[in-house]
Amino acid sequence: HSADAFRTDLMTITRFVLNEASKYPESRGDFSILISNIVLGCKFVCAAVNKAGLAKLIGLAGETNVQGEEQKKLDVLSNEVFVKALVSSGRTCILVSEEDEEATFVETTKRGRYCVVFDPLDGSSNIDCGVSIGTIFGIYMMNDGEEPTLEGALQPGKNMVAAGYCMYGSSCTFVMSTGSGVNGFTLDPSLGEFILTHPDIRIPKKGKIYSVNEGNAKNWDGPTAKYVEKCKFPTDGSPAKSLRYIGSMVADVHRTLLYGGIFLYPADKKSPTGKLRVLYEVFPMSFLMEQAGGQSFTGKERSLDLVPKHIHERSPIFLGSYDDVEEIKALYAAEAKNS
């Protein structure tokens, strides 16, 4: 007989997180509530992003809508929905958002144990041409009763208890790790539920793709220039790598996680500390890469060992397949030895 159109053993993200929580009997369910609020924010943004094209078509985006209200930019709207969802969850104490210059300290009555760092809509400049964009988040846990201070958000990435992203593309894909592997979920709009579609994602040990903005080549330092040269003109007889660069971090990282290869946003003379932000771009993506068997390097150290000094600090980043990142680490080590 034909396969049922509906599977009845659906593993939803809610069930998945609750199953995880049941492994920690002392857990009070706070983390599950926090994640469910992040998931709610992602569903809202997914709906808004999918309408953005239409809104643009009927002249709403960036102009006044039928009520004569100024239509909010999508990244501002996304930030508002995440801040509101996280504060009202009652499980957070500090929020750091790419959209907000200062950190948000949650009022005492609504305070919880988690610090969430996030980019509500990364790559939003790509919306108008339909390129995939995404939300990126990382979660630190504060000690109980500790008065939240900015230091609570300026921890090295290795202290994160969870990290993930949601990609708004041809489908809405939520990828997350709570420290024991990486799992991917796809939104089923007819159910309004994220369904486990990519259990236990492992990045290939070595890849055939490199991902970098070649337009910055004239500003690269020696090791990066040497590495990209090797990708294009291998000296060991191996085939040249393919270049895939979307210019939207979540899309480039998601492809790297599933297909393997290396994503790099190096420092250059123009931006000596690179472009990507430590707390809510470098750390969450590095956390996921390590959990999937890959690695992430800043040009000087393991990305997750970095201790940020301010909340919007930037860092160079080289992340992806373990063996590919090893090659660029060797080139930086050689340069450090010769200098």
Residues in contact with ligand P6P by the rule CB under 6 A = 122-123, 125, 213, 247-249, 252, 275
Least spacing, CB of residue 199 vs ligand P6P, in Å: 26
Q: Which two tokens stand for residue 140?
A: 């630190």
Least spacing, CB of residue 290 vs ligand P6P, in Å: 19
Of 252 and 324, which CB lies nearer to ligand P6P in the complex structure? 252
Full 3-state SS string of 237-301: CCCCCEECCCCCHHHHHHHHHHHCCEEEECCCCCCCCCCCEHHHHHHHHHHHHHHCCCEEECCCC
Sheet containing strand 295-297, edge to edge, reads 242-243, 209-211, 262-265, 317-320, 295-297
Distance CA 259, CA 292 (A): 12
Of 62 and 247, which CB lies nearer to ligand P6P in the complex structure? 247
Least spacing, CB of residue 122 vs ligand P6P, in Å: 5
Of 109 and 170, which CB lies nearer to ligand P6P in the complex structure? 170
Least spacing, CB of residue 107 vs ligand P6P, in Å: 31
Distance CA 154, CA 152 (A): 6
Of 111 and 255, which CB lies nearer to ligand P6P in the complex structure? 255
Of 43 and 275, which CB lies nearer to ligand P6P in the complex structure? 275
| Terminal Cα-to-Cα distance of the chain (whole angstroms) | 70
Q: Could you say which DSSP state residue 227 is in?
A: H
Least spacing, CB of residue 331 vs ligand P6P, in Å: 21
Of 105 and 245, which CB lies nearer to ligand P6P in the complex structure? 245
Least spacing, CB of residue 124 vs ligand P6P, in Å: 8
Least spacing, CB of residue 23 vs ligand P6P, in Å: 34
- Return the ∠ at Cα 174 (arms to 112 and 18), rounded to 5°: 50
**Can you tell me whether residue 146 is helix, strand or coil?**
coil
Phi, psi of 300 (to 5 degrees): -125, -35
Of 255 and 275, which CB lies nearer to ligand P6P in the complex structure? 275
